[in-house]
Each structure stands twice: as structure tokens, then as C-alpha cells.
Amino acid sequence: MARVTEPQKIENLKEAAVETIVKYGYRGTSIAAIAKKANVSAGYLYRYYRTKEELIADIMSTQVDAVKAQIKNGLKNSDTIEELFYNSVISMFRLVKSEPSHAQAMANLVLAADIDHIIPDVAEIGEDMFQAILEFGLKTNEFNESITMEDVMLVFSAIPFGYINMSFKKSNDQLTSVFSEEQARKLVRLCLNALK
């Protein structure tokens, strides 16, 4: 007999996973903790996801696809790396404002040392994306020849996502100024200075 999916329960599982990642980090998140948060048995969760990584990959695939599309669009429509980085950071800030727990979970996962093991597709997408950013920066002469794809990946991931992660420690009243256009420009300058 085929499994009958219960869309609302699946969404509850995903939200429970996001909240658990935010609270305990990737390593502190377990199937049991997610199931408890979602008020279902671990066995129920295993009916839909074989592993914690499979559930997380399902949750994050939407955000990963959105970031990938934004970068591709930015590469086509930006005249400079500065413009591309700025639009990317502003896009991240929009996610923070519209879905704060998803943004924080994504930041936690991106900053995890072994993200390519957590979500294997991210590593593949990242390499293509960061290689394209590197080539664009070389073409616009904003990067010199000594900059590598790994340099771009490190800077473009660590600085904005580190900032997002760190900013959630502030009160909700402070979040509006923390995720402002002025702060986005400051992060872009930090990224560009790191890549000089």
C-alpha cells in the first residue's frame, strides 16, 4: 500500500526541524528531537525521511534554489562584483525579515564545517556558482589573478552568514537596523576588502 502523505504534518515536521536547528545547531539536532518538537513519533518521521540529512536537504532545497537563481540573475544583470554582492546580501536580508527561523537555520547549516556532507547538492551548486563569481570578478578586474574559487566561497559564505547568525543574538527591536541597506553595504565592503 502506498504511503498517504499528510501535507500539514509534513510541514509541521519541517518547521520543527528548522526550529530545532536554530536552537541546537546541526550537530545537536536529532530525529528524536525533531519528532518531539513536531509532536509525532520518530517512526512517523522515518516514514517520510530516512535520515536527518534527507529532511534538512528537503527543507533547504527551496532556499538553495532561490540563492542559486538570485546569483545567476545577478551575474547576468550586474555590472560589478560590488553590485552582485550587494544584491545578494539584500536578498539574504529579505529572507531574514520574511522567514527569520529559516534564515537562521540556513546560516547555521552554511557555517557548518561539513555542509557538503549535510547537503551534498550544496557543494556542487556552490562550486559552479562560486566559479562563475570568480570569473565575473576577474572579467571586471575587481579580483586579481591570485584570488581562487575557494577564497570567493569562504568570503561570500562566512561574512554574510556569520553576520546573520551573530545578529540573531540581538533583540527583535534592533533587527531592523541590523538588516538595513547601510549594513548590507558595510558587509559588501568587508567582502570586497577580504578579496583584494
Q: How far apart are CA 14 and CA 33, in angstroms?
A: 12
- pLDDT over threshold 80, residue 22: yes
- pLDDT over threshold 50, residue 1: no
Question: Could you tell me if 101 and 23 are in contact, meaning their C-beta atoms sit under 8 angstroms apart?
Answer: no
The model's pLDDT over 123-149, given as tens digits with 9 standing for 90+, comes to 566 778 889 999 999 999 999 999 999
Q: How many angstroms from the chain centroid is the CA of residue 100? A: 12
DSSP-derived letter for residue 96 is: H
Burial readout 116-127 (b: 16 or more C-beta within 10 A, e: otherwise): eebbeebeebbe
Angle at 61 between CA 192 and CA 69, to 5 degrees: 50
193 pLDDT tier (thresholds 50, 70, 90): very high
User: pTM for the complete prediction?
Assistant: 0.81
pLDDT at res. 167: 87
- pLDDT over threshold 80, residue 150: yes
Q: How far apart are CA 44 and CA 179, in angstroms?
A: 38
- pLDDT over threshold 90, residue 107: no
Q: Which is nearest to 92 in space by CA: 27, 13, 180?
A: 180
110 pLDDT tier (thresholds 50, 70, 90): confident
169 pLDDT tier (thresholds 50, 70, 90): confident
Helices (H), the chain: 7-24, 31-38, 42-48, 52-77, 81-98, 100-111, 115-118, 120-139, 149-167, 172-178, 181-194
- pLDDT over threshold 60, residue 4: no
Question: Could you tell me if 66 and 27 are in contact, meaning their C-beta atoms sit under 8 angstroms apart?
Answer: no
